[in-house]
Amino acid sequence: MMDIVDRFISYTKINTTTDRDKGAAGIMPSSEGQRVLANQVAEELRALGLEDVAVNERSILTATLPANVDYSLPTVAFFGHLDTSAEQTKDTHAQIVSYQGGDICLNKAQQIFLRKSEFPELEEYAGDDIIVTDGTSLLGADDKAAIASIVNMVQFLLANPDIKHGPVKVGLVPDEEQGLRGSKAFDVKSFGADFAYTLDCCGIGELVYENWNAGDAELVFTGQSAHPMSAKGRLKNSLLMAHKFIAMLPGGEAPEYTEGREGYYWVKQLQGNSARTVLKMDVRDFTEQGYHQRMQFLDRLAKHCEDLWGEGSVVCKLSDRYSNVFNSLQGEASFPIDIAVDAYRKQGIEPKVIPMRGGYDGAVLSQNGLPCPNVFTGGHNFHSIYEYLPVKSLRAASNVLVEIVKQTHERFSKNG
């Protein structure tokens, strides 16, 4: 049986950096390393004895651990993503440090340190082993820690057949780091799970079942160009229109001024000239009502500006990107949250419920009919050369998955 730490480190040796250019061109997976990793994990799952192991042309991996009971239970699934962020593209050279406190020297030759003064939560892991890089790349715990935890969970269940369980499914998707592209291409209906959990981000104990309702706004401002020597009364500067529009957005409701569950308008891109200017914005809110109000505000503001500047001067295009997972976990549908909370506590971990100020694969999966809270991987400082993963946290994540399978059996065998 392969140890979870060895399994994780073997995954880090495969460079799965997402390729934004290829992704923008519609290629999936955007990097060959993702295909390599998907096929490696598929072989591992086949060797363990899983059924229906498949990797499709987009490197979406699916597999099934059949039930070991003769009565009906719902099917629970676990998801991870294959790619790592494009912030760093170099190969990972992982190392295990026996942490005794203070700073960690990642790279003596280049004098790169993981410093306690910058990352004070390090002190919580004094006396533990921590997996780090050599300071020149990401570690890839986002999201290879998830993959290692899922495969380790499957290995444990197969090695302990006395643990009764219903069907358990595995799903791995590519290019999460590019707008959740893999989960958007995932066929939830044919997969056949009843509920699921993603593993993505966060230190030990963190549990996510809220994220943004997210939308995009594109505004096109059309002016009238004129030579400056005869511009009076003729020139309509679309750049100035866009700036005036931005100035009319609610003060303080931008990412740099907000936190927690506070929503925002994010002015992301402004490009053009005096004749035509395009403004692109992100719209975010945790509540459905607040999200719709923000989108309606932009639409009304655009129409008022068009009335002021002339017909066709402002065109507003609004589109939805993904919804808050919590929208799919209301009332009787909240049981995946309850199961996760029970599983954490059975493992001696007090859940730290946090709202995710971003999106994750579970947002798309939930929107497509597969309710999907998010479980911690145990990693810290994702998308950074200072990314690290405490070994105890990695093991705890996998143990929680086993406990979720146990709790699913306990809850539904009683109800049955």
Picking from 4, 20, 374, the residue whose alpha carbon sits closest to that of residue 211 is 374
Taking the C-alpha atoms of residue 378 and residue 369, their distance in angstroms, rounded to an integer, is: 27
Q: How many CA atoms within 13 Å lie on the side-chain side of 300?
A: 8
Picking from 135, 96, 131, the residue whose alpha carbon sits closest to that of residue 114 is 135
Instruction: Give the three-state DSSP class for 96.
Output: strand
Residue type, 328: S
Taking the C-alpha atoms of residue 118 and residue 124, their distance in angstroms, rounded to an integer, is: 14
Please report the DSSP string for 113-131 in residue order. Answer: EE-TTT-GGGGGGTTSEEE
- Nearest 5 degrees, angle CA 18-CA 20-CA 26? 100
* Residues that are catalytic: 83, 176
Taking the C-alpha atoms of residue 253 and residue 270, their distance in angstroms, rounded to an integer, is: 18
Instruction: Give the three-state DSSP class for 206.
Output: strand
Q: Which residues of 98-110 are buried (b: 16+ CB within 10 A; e: fewer)?
A: ebeeeebebbeee
Q: How far is CA 82 from the centre of its chain?
A: 11
- The binding site for Zn(2+) consists of 81, 142, 177, 200, 383
Taking the C-alpha atoms of residue 105 and residue 63, their distance in angstroms, rounded to an integer, is: 40
Instruction: Give the three-state DSSP class for 234.
Output: coil
Give me the residue label for tokens 């230190």: 203
Taking the C-alpha atoms of residue 86 and residue 60, their distance in angstroms, rounded to an integer, is: 20
- The binding site consists of 81, 142, 177, 200, 383
Instruction: List beta partners, residue 215.
Output: 283, 320
